Amino acid sequence: MKVVLFCGGLGMRLRDYSDSIPKPMVEIGYRPILWHVMKYYASFGHTDFILCLGYKADVIKRYFVNYQEFISNDFVLKGDDQPKMLASDLEDWKITFVDTGYDSCIGERLRRVRKHLDGEEMFLANYSDNLTDFQLPKLVSAVEDSDAVAGFITVPPPMSFHITETTEDGKVARILESKKSGLWINGGCFALRNEIFDSMREGEELVIEPFARLIEEQRLISVQHTGFWQNMDTFKDRVMLNEMHERGNAPWQVWDRA
Write down the pLDDT at residue 240: 94
Number of domains present in the structure of the chain: 1
Domain extent, residue 120, equals: 2-257
- The full length of the chain comes to 258
**Residue 150: CATH number of its domain:** 3.90.550.10
| Element of type H or E holding 106 | helix 106-111
Of the pLDDT bands very low, low, confident and very high (cuts 50, 70, 90), residue 10 is low
Task: Please indicate whether residue 180 or residue 38 has the higher confidence score (pLDDT).
Answer: 38
The dihedrals phi and psi of 59, each to the nearest 5 degrees, come to -65, -45
| Element of type H or E holding 137 | helix 136-144
Of the pLDDT bands very low, low, confident and very high (cuts 50, 70, 90), residue 59 is very high
Task: Please indicate whether residue 160 or residue 11 has the higher confidence score (pLDDT).
Answer: 160
Pairwise CA distance, residues 204 & 216, whole Å: 17
Question: The pTM is what?
Answer: 0.87
Pairwise CA distance, residues 142 & 137, whole Å: 8
Does residue 19 register a pLDDT over 80?
Answer: no
- The answer to whether the beta carbons of residues 48 and 42 sit under 8 Å apart is no
Residue 11's nearest CA partner among 50, 64, 54 is 54
